[in-house]
């Protein structure tokens, strides 16, 4: 099918006011539009309600940035994060915006490699490079960023990033015992204090209760989307679903939940009528592993170009972000923060040891999504996911689940090799 024309809209004056490298960024904008047109707009039988998310991409460097500038003018905080362990409910309770800054583009990596070592995770390099090169309006608009101590690459990069933008760090323990929870709880409280300092406002229990509801509703909408993807034929492509999971990290949460729910109405109707984006005989693949930050669509694109469909992402840009909710029935601030900490402790990132719950969760999601095979995806140099992959593979072998593990980065160099391996994997599923 022919590539459809698509434009990511330019806002050079706004970018200038954010002290960006405008000529260079404008080239990246044009390239994103071309890639998006080719990968997304040419998909057959797309749900109509994807129009909102296409529009979000068209306005990704414009309207949403303007909304954040307006929030900032009112003295409300804009906080950049790199990990789903940072509790966005606290920022929303202060009337602010929490935005995910993880990088999924190879374009900013050379900027990072002028400073950071080359042999570290591409996600860390991509994000850092965006700030160094002044080529990400989201990075330019934040008041401060909040990193965490999940993996070594991130933890040490924050020290260098702090030279370019105020960077605070949340200590995330590496185990989940009672004493780790005590530490975590204190770290969440410190985060709240930091957010309050910036906006010079004390967050009340009512503010936090309302914010917990808002973010729970966003997570509920994404859970609903995941559930309908289990239908056969698949009512939405994996690429579109991944796109929505990526947009979840920068859209306004109430509007986003509303739009995801509208899309789910359409998808549930499709499921009832037995309509899909691809024939029900197409292999159904679940992807598990490291997050795929915008615009990293490489693996989904390869799988779906080979005639299969992705039906689930067990990832932080995926179910790990929204599978758990916060108890909404707590009345004091300490009770609320305790419930919030409990929810965040359920996230099963491979930086924890032991991390048995992730293996169980993968098997559960495999069954729930009616997948027929698991593709484990690890970013290059991500030691924790790469090593935990051993246990995922063993569990799949034990259960007789068709399995493929790949390690990749953002460059196009390994595309041919990945394509061959993915096609062989799909043949295995087809039997």
Q: How far is the CB of 87 from ligand BJ8 (least distance, A)?
A: 13
Q: How far is the CB of 84 from ligand BJ8 (least distance, A)?
A: 5
When asked if residue 292 is in the footprint of ligand BJ8 (CB under 6 A), the reply is: no
31, containing H or E segment: helix 22-36
Q: How far is the CB of 45 from ligand BJ8 (least distance, A)?
A: 32
- Alpha carbons 388 and 398: distance in angstroms, whole number: 16
Stretch that binds ligand BJ8, among 21-29, 160-168, 343-351, 356-364 (CB under 6 A): 343-351
310 strand-pairing partners: 285
Looking at 276, 291, 295, 318, which residue binds ligand BJ8 (CB under 6 A)? 291
Q: How far is the CB of 174 from ligand BJ8 (least distance, A)?
A: 11
Q: How far is the CB of 335 from ligand BJ8 (least distance, A)?
A: 25
What backbone phi and psi angles, to 5 degrees, belong to 374?
Answer: -120, 130
Stretch that binds ligand BJ8, among 121-129, 266-274, 389-397, 409-417 (CB under 6 A): 121-129
Q: Is 134 within 8 Å of 21 (Cβ atoms)?
A: yes
When asked if residue 98 is in the footprint of ligand BJ8 (CB under 6 A), the reply is: no
With respect to ligand BJ8, which residue has the nearer C-beta, 112 or 277?
A: 112
Residues 11-30 that bind ligand BJ8 (CB under 6 A): none
Which tokens hold the place of 313?
A: 């992402």
When asked if residue 347 is in the footprint of ligand BJ8 (CB under 6 A), the reply is: yes
Cα–chain center distance at 291: 6
- Alpha carbons 421 and 418: distance in angstroms, whole number: 5
Q: How far apart are the first and last CA of the chain?
A: 28
Cα angle for residues 388, 286, 382 (degrees, 5° grid): 30
100 strand-pairing partners: 81
Alpha-helical segments (H) within 152-234 = 152-161, 178-199, 205-228
Looking at 303, 349, 362, 375, which residue binds ligand BJ8 (CB under 6 A)? 349
When asked if residue 406 is in the footprint of ligand BJ8 (CB under 6 A), the reply is: no
When asked if residue 362 is in the footprint of ligand BJ8 (CB under 6 A), the reply is: no
Which tokens hold the place of 302?
A: 């390869």
Footprint of ligand BJ8 (CB under 6 A):
83-85, 121, 123-124, 150-151, 153-154, 290-291, 316, 347, 349, 351, 379, 382, 384-385
């Amino acid at each position: 099918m022919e590539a459809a024309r698509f434009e990511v809209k330019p806002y050079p004056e706004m970018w200038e006011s954010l002290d960006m490298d405008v000529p260079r960024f404008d080239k990246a904008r044009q390239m994103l539009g071309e890639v998006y047109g080719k990968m997304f707009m040419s998909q057959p039988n797309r749900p109509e309600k994807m129009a909102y998310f296409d529009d979000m991409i068209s306005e990704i460097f414009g309207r949403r940035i303007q909304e954040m500038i307006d929030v900032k003018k009112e003295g409300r905080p804009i906080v950049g994060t790199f990990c789903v362990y940072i509790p966005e409910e606290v920022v929303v309770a202060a009337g602010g915006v929490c935005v995910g800054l993880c990088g999924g583009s190879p374009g900013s990596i050379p900027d990072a490699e002028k400073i950071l070592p080359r042999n570290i995770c591409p996600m860390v390099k991509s994000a850092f490079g965006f700030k160094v090169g002044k080529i990400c309006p989201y990075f330019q608009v934040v008041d401060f960023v909040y990193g965490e101590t999940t993996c070594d690459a991130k933890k040490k990069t924050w020290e260098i990033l702090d030279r370019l933008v105020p960077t605070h760090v949340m200590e995330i323990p590496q185990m989940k015992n009672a004493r780790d929870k005590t530490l975590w709880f204190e770290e969440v409280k410190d985060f709240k204090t930091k957010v309050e300092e910036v906006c010079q406002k004390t967050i009340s229990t009512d503010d936090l209760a309302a914010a917990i509801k808002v973010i729970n509703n966003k997570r509920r909408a994404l859970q609903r989307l995941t559930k309908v993807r289990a239908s056969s034929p698949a009512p939405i492509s994996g690429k579109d679903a991944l796109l929505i999971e990526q947009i979840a990290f920068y859209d306004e949460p109430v509007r986003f939940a509303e739009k995801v729910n509208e899309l789910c109405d359409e998808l549930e109707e499709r499921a009832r009528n037995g309509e899909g984006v691809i024939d029900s005989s197409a292999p159904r693949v679940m992807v598990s592993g490291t997050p795929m930050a915008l615009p990293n669509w490489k693996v989904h694109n390869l799988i779906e170009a080979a005639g299969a469909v992705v039906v689930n992402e067990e990832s932080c840009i995926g179910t790990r972000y929204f599978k758990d909710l916060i108890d909404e029935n707590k009345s004091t601030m300490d009770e609320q923060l305790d419930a919030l900490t409990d929810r965040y402790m359920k996230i099963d990132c491979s930086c924890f040891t032991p991390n048995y719950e992730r293996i169980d969760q993968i098997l559960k999601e495999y069954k729930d999504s009616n997948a027929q095979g698991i593709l484990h995806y690890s970013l290059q140099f991500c030691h924790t996911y790469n090593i935990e992959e051993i246990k995922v593979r063993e569990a799949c072998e034990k259960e007789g689940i068709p399995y493929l593990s790949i390690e990749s980065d953002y460059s196009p160099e390994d595309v041919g090799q990945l394509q061959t391996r993915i096609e062989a994997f799909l043949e295995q599923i087809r039997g």
